[in-house]
């Protein structure tokens, strides 16, 4: 091949790539993002997004685990690609907060500004300068950009924000719930649903398209509500329904058109292999089913139905006393659970936890060490099955450590554990605060507490039993004066 033939061959390849990039999101992404290395499932995912861009899918939901590249396709490349194909399209991109939405805005701008994009879609360009409100100019700012010489453009807004002005042709909602805490909040879910009904949907017209792409946290999130009301798309029986594409981290069930994997295989093994995913599942099965499998389960079977409250710093309170509650292991297979906490008029702020099935040769000095470290004033030990001897030994070792502050008392717990745990469950949720990140600090304790069921057989009850004890030890509100609150 001569030099001239090579030049012509390379030019032909480039022309082919540009031609393909104008009609398919995958080659468009390859052309505008040289580092893009799609996995097998990305090819099918981008094909679905291309069908959406062509208008062959009107309402689309895509559910995918975190860190699998969902936003790169749906919220960065897709808006730029749609505007290249149709610069008159009016796009709205919504995320959980205004800063997150503005980040998408900047990233879309950068794509459209590249020379590769200009070569693929020469008719679509942004104002060369940032323009906020100048009359007659094409807007380009952190919230809205207009395509020069055309009617289209894109707005970015945090959920709950305004979508005033012109109608929306394409609505893209990406991660409208920041995390599990917000998704599990009935107040937040209701607010987002109200915003969708009163703001987002009012900007849509007969030919508008909608794309929802996020990780499922709760069965009653916006996607769940819309599916409940409008159903899944069927070309004959439900033309107003949603096309739903679900990618599970670990394939469950038979192969589908969008996900032909065999059951039990990882979605992106090069980045998130099966061993890693199974370890995550072991740590928190409930969260794994929602976050990674896109199958949120109802929480009504759990004793503690809502996430526990967390704190970053201890509050400044008038009344405060550092206390400890210890439930010793009843039998060889049981766990010792010792909880050190700051008791205040607001609630109990957990400071430290010892949760282990190791013998008393280990737990006695460790408990004494914890009491000493946090300068505990009062430690209460259930005296059942050797608890009295445990308390005496812990006190002896605490004194040897120079701890003369902690007063240790024991008592016999005669009430039924299951009944105590159930009857005090609401108080435990209302009055207990854990340090942020406590799931990583005490993973076994976290697992035992957050997966304790109201009915059925639980492997262990030591964690909820001890936590219940911390609430039972609080003075009864109204029966003591402030001065005698911690007597």
Cβ-proximal residues to 251 (8 Å cutoff; 6+ apart), any chain: 259, 261, 262, 263, 264, 265, 266, 267
**Residue 136: predicted pLDDT:** 66
The residue ranking higher by pLDDT, 351 or 183, is: 351
In the predicted model, is pLDDT for residue 245 greater than 90? yes
In the predicted model, is pLDDT for residue 299 greater than 60? no
Going through 294-422 in order, the beta strands assigned E by DSSP cover: 309-311, 320-327, 336-344, 348-356, 378-382, 407-411
Which tens digit of pLDDT belongs to each residue from 190-209? 999 999 999 999 999 999 99
Q: Sketch out the chain's domains with CATH numbers.
A: 3-291 (3.40.50.300), 309-472 (3.30.420.240)
In the predicted model, is pLDDT for residue 343 greater than 60? yes
With beta carbons less than 8 A apart as the criterion, state whether 365 and 372 touch.
no
**Residue 275: predicted pLDDT:** 94
Helical packing angle, 25-32 and 3-21, nearest 10°: 120
Q: pLDDT grade, residue 286 (50/70/90)?
A: low
**Residue 89: predicted pLDDT:** 97
Handedness of CA 147, 151, 152, 156 (dihedral sign): positive
Among 255-259, 372-376, 406-410, 412-416, the range scoring the smallest mean pLDDT is 412-416
Instruction: Please give the Cα distance from 200 to 206 (Å, whole number).
Output: 14
In the predicted model, is pLDDT for residue 57 greater than 80? yes
Buried b (16+ CB within 10 A) or exposed e, 233-267: beeeeeeebbbbbbbbbbbeeeeeebbebeeeebb
In the predicted model, is pLDDT for residue 389 greater than 70? yes
Which of 196, 189, 289, 281 is closest to 246 using CA atoms?
289
With beta carbons less than 8 A apart as the criterion, state whether 59 and 210 touch.
yes
User: Containing H/E element for 4?
Assistant: helix 3-21
Which tens digit of pLDDT belongs to each residue from 412-439? 887 878 878 888 888 999 999 999 999 9
**Residue 184: predicted pLDDT:** 73
Mean predicted confidence (pLDDT) in 133-143: 80
Mean predicted confidence (pLDDT) in 316-337: 87
In the predicted model, is pLDDT for residue 59 greater than 70? yes
Instruction: Please give the Cα distance from 55 to 73 (Å, whole number).
Output: 16
In the predicted model, is pLDDT for residue 484 greater than 50? no
Alpha helices in 284-416 (DSSP H): 285-291, 360-373, 387-400
Q: Is the pTM of this model over 0.85?
A: no
Mean predicted confidence (pLDDT) in 319-330: 91
């Amino acid at each position: 091949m001569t030099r001239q033939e090579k030049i012509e061959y390379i030019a032909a390849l480039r022309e082919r790539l540009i031609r393909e990039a104008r009609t398919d999101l995958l080659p468009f992404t390859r052309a505008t993002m040289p580092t893009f290395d799609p996995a097998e499932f990305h090819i099918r995912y981008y094909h679905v997004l291309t069908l959406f861009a062509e208008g062959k899918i009107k309402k689309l939901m895509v559910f995918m685990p975190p860190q699998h590249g969902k936003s790169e396709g749906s919220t960065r490349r897709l808006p730029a690609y749609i505007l290249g194909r149709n610069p008159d399209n009016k796009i709205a991109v919504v995320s959980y907060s205004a800063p997150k939405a503005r980040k998408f805005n900047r990233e879309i701008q950068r794509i459209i500004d590249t020379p590769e994009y200009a070569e693929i879609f020469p008719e679509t360009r942004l104002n060369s300068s940032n323009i906020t409100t100048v009359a007659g100019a094409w807007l380009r700012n952190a919230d809205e950009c207009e395509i020069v010489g055309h009617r289209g453009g894109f707005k970015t807004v945090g959920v709950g924000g305004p979508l005033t002005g012109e109608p929306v042709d394409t609505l893209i909602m990406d991660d409208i719930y920041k995390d599990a805490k917000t998704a599990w909040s009935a107040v937040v879910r209701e607010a987002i649903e109200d915003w969708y009904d009163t703001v987002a949907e009012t900007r849509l017209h007969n030919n508008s398209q909608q794309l929802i792409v996020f990780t499922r946290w709760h069965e009653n999130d916006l996607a769940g509500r819309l599916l409940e009301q409008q159903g899944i798309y069927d070309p004959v029986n439900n033309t107003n329904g949603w096309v739903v594409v679900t990618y599970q981290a670990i394939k469950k069930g038979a192969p589908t058109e969008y996900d032909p994997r065999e059951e039990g295989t990882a979605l992106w093994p090069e980045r998130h292999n099966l061993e890693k995913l199974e370890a995550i599942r072991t740590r928190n099965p409930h969260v794994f089913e929602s976050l990674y499998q896109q199958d949120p389960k109802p929480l009504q079977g759990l004793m503690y139905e809502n996430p526990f409250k967390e704190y970053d710093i201890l509050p400044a309170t008038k009344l405060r006393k550092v206390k400890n509650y210890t439930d010793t292991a009843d039998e060889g297979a049981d766990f010792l659970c010792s909880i050190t906490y700051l008791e205040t008029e607001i609630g109990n702020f957990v400071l430290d936890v010892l949760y282990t099935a190791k013998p008393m040769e280990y737990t006695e000095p460790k408990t004494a060490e914890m009491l000493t470290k946090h300068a505990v004033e009062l430690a209460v030990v259930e005296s059942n099955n050797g608890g009295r001897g445990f308390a005496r030994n812990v006190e002896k070792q605490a004194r040897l450590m120079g701890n003369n502050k902690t007063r240790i008392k024991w008592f016999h717990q005669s009430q039924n554990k299951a009944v105590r745990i159930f009857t005090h469950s609401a108080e435990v949720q209302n009055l207990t605060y854990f340090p942020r990140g406590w799931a990583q600090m005490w993973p076994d304790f976290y697992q035992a507490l957050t997966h304790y069921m109201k009915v059925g057989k639980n492997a262990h009850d030591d964690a909820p039993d001890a936590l219940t004890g911390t609430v039972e030890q609080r003075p009864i509100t109204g029966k003591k004066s402030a001065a005698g609150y911690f007597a």
